Structure 1
Amino acid sequence: MSNLPEARASRNLHKTYEGGSSIVGVLQQYAHDAAPELLRESGVSFGLQNTLDGDPFTEATTPENRRASLLSLAPHTDEIQRFIPLYRHTIHPFVPLLVDIDEFELHVCEYLESRAAGDLRDGSKTLNQWLTGKGINTIAVILATLSCSSYFSDISITERSTTALKFVARAFQALQLANYMLRPSVEAVQTLLLLGNTLQNTGQSDGSWILLGTTIRLAQALGLHAANTKTRGANSRKKEALWSVIVWQDCFLSVCHGRPSGISKAQLKRLNFAAVTGPSLSYFEIMCRVGCLCVDLTEDVPTLKGSVDLVEAIDRCYSNALPHLQSLDKCRNLHQRLEFFALQINMSFTIAVVCRPAMKKLPPGSGEDHYHQFLTTRAKQSLFTTLRTFLAFQALSSMPLRNWSMLHSALTSMLLLSVWEETRHDPQSRDLQERLVGLLLAVSEESSSADTDSDGHPSYYTQWLSPRSIRTLIALQSAIRNTPPLTDHVSPTRSVETLLTTSEGASLHQTGLPVLDSQVPDQITALLGSSVAYDYDQFDWSTVDLSPFAFIDETVNMPFYDSSQSNGFI
């Protein structure tokens, strides 16, 4: 623990970035290299530098209270030994939120050695070493990593979710103890990224997107968004890698929620990706580059021509991936095969999103038939590939069934195949959808049978993937697929319940899947945003000129309300 600085030994821990429009930035241009420390200190004079040592959002604490808080939050040896080993091989290869996994593991070793030596106990003379900003931030990163790792452990699903969220709470309290908002650090940025990932996996992606806004601001306060042209050392590369991860996460979550990115195009241009001439890019490098390419999708739906250009740009990027990422035949071990599957899901789903203009009807005489046909073909292939790869991936690893982004990609692809006229009656499409639904029902029912609360109800934390929520998706899927045209002389006020107990029920019997319980029609009515009867005059999905993505935005992204409990979620 000797390498940890004393409480006030390094003022660089509190240094934040000031851009060219700031008065400090202007002075730096005039003063050049003269008195750099004095220039940094001038930020306080202008009210641009934080000065509080304590977190202003919590009650003031005494040194004794800080020690007690740290001891109550600090991870135990058995927690680390049980969960941390999972992170490197199960999670990190696919969601590399720690930019230097080797350095992190060394910090974990130092922490365990310090704990074994008795440094982390009340009355220890060396405890103050861990009460520094660096020490507390290290503990916060470890706790956040434990939150990710515990969710992928082999404990029961209820205990898994509960344990992960308890680690989330402890990690965030550690960040507050370190005064992360007024004393930003790279460790705090990584901690927030890890916590956001756990929130996603436990079904709270909305909260994860909101938390990512704070993460972006912390990173910008540290200057991670500003390319350093003077130095290209290891520290500079780590910061650039961390900023690339943030861009990747922000792009994906923003696209999934249909919200604007928190990162400007000017900041993206500062990411100096090296030119490549052959298959040399890793999984991480491909994902970061594709994330940068697709940020425009968070602002507007591109034109047909713009979508074709973007698909071709993604194809060029993918063509530079390492051989095992491009072909299953090139994979020489389990790790390479899993990386191949993970990249296939991400790339295929991304291309499906880019191709969404093809899912709208083309106006007559537009002269863009060739673009529309190209995108239609690619969208179809990509949706099929997403589901096919997800099914293959889950046979080898628990990752796709516990990773929100992969599961979201599969569920969205399934519903798009259901609503898109091009694929809704395709036999291959039906087969893939039924296999996915069967898998999800089997997994959710197996988990929920052993995980109930004292009243026999499924645990709150697992309900976003409970049998009822999966069956709700099935009902929604079948209701859309089996919507009769107006020429069938159907009553314009035919209720959702009637629809689901006829066409939907028959569909489930034909597939061999369990028929929905009597409460599901109420859930579908809630999903459709109305408690009144289903109006075919208003919602004739077979003729309306509406993108399936817009339809999904209006249905799937709405909360799943439990009709039996007014304040509960399914």
Structure 2
Amino acid sequence: MLGLQNTYRDYPFMKVKSSQGRWASLLEILPQKEEVLKYFHLYRAFVFPFNPILADVNDFELELRLYLKSLDTGELSDPLKESHRWTDDKYLGQIGLILATMASGVQFSDLSHVSRAHISRDLIRRAFQSLRLANYLCRPTVQAIQALLVIGNVLQNNGQSDASSALLGCTIRLGQALRLDTDDSSLSSSTSSSDSNTVRTTNRKIWLSIVWQDSLLSLCHGRLPAALSRSGYSFKSLLLPKSLSFTESMHHICQLAMAILERHETGRSQIALSMQWLTIVDRIRDSAQLHLRNQDQCENLQECLHFLAFRLNTSFLETVICRPALGKACRDTNTSEYERARMRAKESFANALQAFLEFHTLSIVPLRTWSTIHTTLSSILLTSIWEETKNDSMILDLQKRTIHVFESVGSSPGAADNTTVDDSQWLSEPHIQLLKTVKNVVRQNAARNLASGDDQNETVNPPTGSEDESGILPTTEIVE
């Protein structure tokens, strides 16, 4: 009524085509049977279990079956006979989502790094073309939004986290346009109660996936989050059900991260607040399924991998929460909370590095996932310049072993010193530079420890720019 709705039927930034022209454009980008069978199962095995963007993976697989059947019957092959079903906005978005999941799966294939990057970029291009044909910007659908989230994840793993963050901003606004951020999404009065509940559940899951991606990128880049929900999330009276799954536990962790990123406290009040945040992390962990709390309770490999992924993510958040206690601003705060925060930070750094090492032993996922690489390398950097950890023999051993893992992907010892983005199997250019920096600092720390007989009073100059003007240890923003 107020003229706020979009009216364009076609995507405004491409030449308007006839219905037949749109059909011809679609036929040029369709995923073929061989591609789907080759790459989707990789997404299902290596990506979805740790980042479940698809709101209903079972329903998606049934839609994928329908698509493959349409390919087989020739419904998607005749340039002169348009399929009105597959040119509908919903199904165009579905095709874009299929292509996006394939692009994500390619990144975990056994192809060379160059081939993986080339094929995933081509699939992303085709996915975006399908979304443009669906006019995702003016007429968004839940299929298109899920496709954009998967594309953002692919961009991260290609080392383009800033581009992923920019794309996420658009995705968030599209999600808000569909009222995914509210608990009372507008539904047709003719919609049955069961259908209404299904739609609300789907919308809620997609919004939580948006929050997941936003909290991760905001933590890594040191930025304020954008996916703020009108329904809010209260932690003061948080009542958590028992036996939370990996996905449910991660949703609570990500929403806590959003709340932390929105708060700005200084000095002693910040330390006190940090302890409150840590208590909530502990409550979430205590409410998780048993295998997420105790590795000895894992009954299969997937549960072991979920345990390690959950520990890595929670440890990273704990180090962010404890960061005020690591810097000069709170150094004169001789309180028990201050000491507890420092000890918790040290423990969390060690847990993060140990979880990465064990995760790497069992799966290719950590070395193909940008967020895991970023978390691990930034943990090495911070522990190599913090006086509490840089001379600690256990931490030093974890640092060396982790650096060796990254180097072992190269062709020879010391590969990190000569690695470039073109021959790297796992790193973007900023991460390659970060690896070289942390390797030099760790090597310097080890040499000085040896020369001084582990003299804890010996200091090592941190790399240039490693401390800001306030003396607080760097956020991960400076080590992107």
Matched, 1:310 2:277: yes
Matched, 1:263 2:227: yes
Question: Does the Cα contact within 8 Å between 1:119 and 1:127 map onto a contact in 2?
Answer: yes
Partner of 2:405: 439
Return the letter of the residue paired with 1:310: W
Partner of 2:427: 465
Matched, 1:546 2:471: yes
**Equivalent residue runs for 1:141-220 within 5 Å:** 141-220=97-176
The percentage of aligned residue pairs carrying the same residue is 35
Return the letter of the residue paired with 1:263: A
Q: 1:253 and 1:471 mapped to 2: Cα distance?
A: 19
Q: 1:408 and 1:330 mapped to 2: Cα distance?
A: 29
Offset, 1:553: 3.5
Q: How large is the RMSD of aligned CA atoms in angstroms? A: 3.2
> Which of 414, 425, 428 is the equivalent residue of 2:391?
425
Instruction: Report the CA distance shift for 1:543/1:195 in structure 2 as closer, same or farther (over 3 A).
Output: closer
Matched, 1:281 2:244: yes
Offset, 1:270: 9.2
Question: Does the Cα contact within 8 Å between 1:440 and 1:470 map onto a contact in 2?
Answer: no
Deviations 1:417-438 (A, max 9, x none): 1011110111111111111111
Q: 1:441 and 1:254 mapped to 2: Cα distance?
A: 28
Long gaps (5+) in structure 1: 1-42, 450-456, 483-502, 511-535, 558-570
Which is greater in Rg?
Answer: 1
Partner of 2:73: 117
Matched, 1:356 2:317: no
Matched, 1:477 2:438: yes
Return the letter of the residue paired with 2:76: L
Matched, 1:369 2:335: yes
Deviations 1:476-499 (A, max 9, x none): 2255568xxxxxxxxxxxxxxxxx
Question: Does the Cα contact within 8 Å between 2:368 and 2:426 map onto a contact in 1?
Answer: no
Q: Aligned with 2:349: secondary structure?
A: helix
Instruction: Report the CA distance shift for 1:110/1:270 in structure 2 as closer, same or farther (over 3 A).
Output: farther
Equivalent pairs, count: 455
Partner of 2:289: 322
Question: Does the Cα contact within 8 Å between 1:227 and 1:270 map onto a contact in 2?
Answer: no
Q: Aligned with 1:294: secondary structure?
A: helix
- Choose 353-362 or 396-405, whichever is displaced more: 353-362
Question: Does the Cα contact within 8 Å between 2:349 and 2:379 map onto a contact in 1?
Answer: yes
Return the letter of the residue paired with 1:257: H
Instruction: Report the TM-score when normalising by structure 2.
Output: 0.87
> Which of 297, 301, 316 is the equivalent residue of 2:260?
297
Q: 1:424 and 1:263 mapped to 2: Cα distance?
A: 36
Question: Does the Cα contact within 8 Å between 1:268 and 1:292 map onto a contact in 2?
Answer: no
Matched, 1:395 2:358: no
Q: Aligned with 2:127: secondary structure?
A: helix
Partner of 1:340: 307
Question: Does the Cα contact within 8 Å between 2:385 and 2:462 map onto a contact in 1?
Answer: no
Return the letter of the residue paired with 1:264: L
Matched, 1:84 2:40: yes
- Choose 419-428 or 541-550, whichever is displaced more: 541-550
Offset, 1:332: 0.4
Question: Does the Cα contact within 8 Å between 1:202 and 1:462 map onto a contact in 2?
Answer: no
Question: Does the Cα contact within 8 Å between 1:358 and 1:372 map onto a contact in 2?
Answer: yes
Q: 1:537 and 1:376 mapped to 2: Cα distance?
A: 19
Partner of 1:239: 203
Matched, 1:248 2:212: yes
Instruction: Report the CA distance shift for 1:274/1:363 in structure 2 as closer, same or farther (over 3 A).
Output: closer
- Choose 125-134 or 425-434, whichever is displaced more: 125-134
Question: Does the Cα contact within 8 Å between 1:247 and 1:263 map onto a contact in 2?
Answer: yes
Offset, 1:168: 0.9
Question: Does the Cα contact within 8 Å between 1:444 and 1:465 map onto a contact in 2?
Answer: no
Instruction: Report the CA distance shift for 1:79/1:274 in structure 2 as closer, same or farther (over 3 A).
Output: farther
Return the letter of the residue paired with 1:546: G
Offset, 1:386: 0.6
Question: Does the Cα contact within 8 Å between 2:31 and 2:99 map onto a contact in 1?
Answer: yes
Return the letter of the residue paired with 1:406: T
Deviations 1:332-351 (A, max 9, x none): 01111111111111011111
Question: Does the Cα contact within 8 Å between 1:202 and 1:461 map onto a contact in 2?
Answer: no
Q: Aligned with 2:215: secondary structure?
A: helix
> Which of 395, 400, 408 is the equivalent residue of 2:374?
408
Q: Aligned with 1:465: secondary structure?
A: coil
Instruction: Report the TM-score when normalising by structure 1.
Output: 0.74
Return the letter of the residue paired with 2:198: A
Q: 1:458 and 1:211 mapped to 2: Cα distance?
A: 26
Q: 1:171 and 1:286 mapped to 2: Cα distance?
A: 31
Question: Does the Cα contact within 8 Å between 1:225 and 1:270 map onto a contact in 2?
Answer: no
Q: 1:470 and 1:147 mapped to 2: Cα distance?
A: 22
- Choose 143-152 or 60-69, whichever is displaced more: 60-69
Q: 1:225 and 1:167 mapped to 2: Cα distance?
A: 29
Matched, 1:54 2:15: no
Matched, 1:68 2:30: no
> Which of 316, 331, 349 is the equivalent residue of 1:383?
349
Partner of 1:223: 179
Q: Aligned with 1:444: secondary structure?
A: coil
Long gaps (5+) in structure 2: 188-192, 452-460
Partner of 2:458: none
Instruction: Report the CA distance shift for 1:258/1:55 in structure 2 as closer, same or farther (over 3 A).
Output: same
Offset, 1:89: 2.3
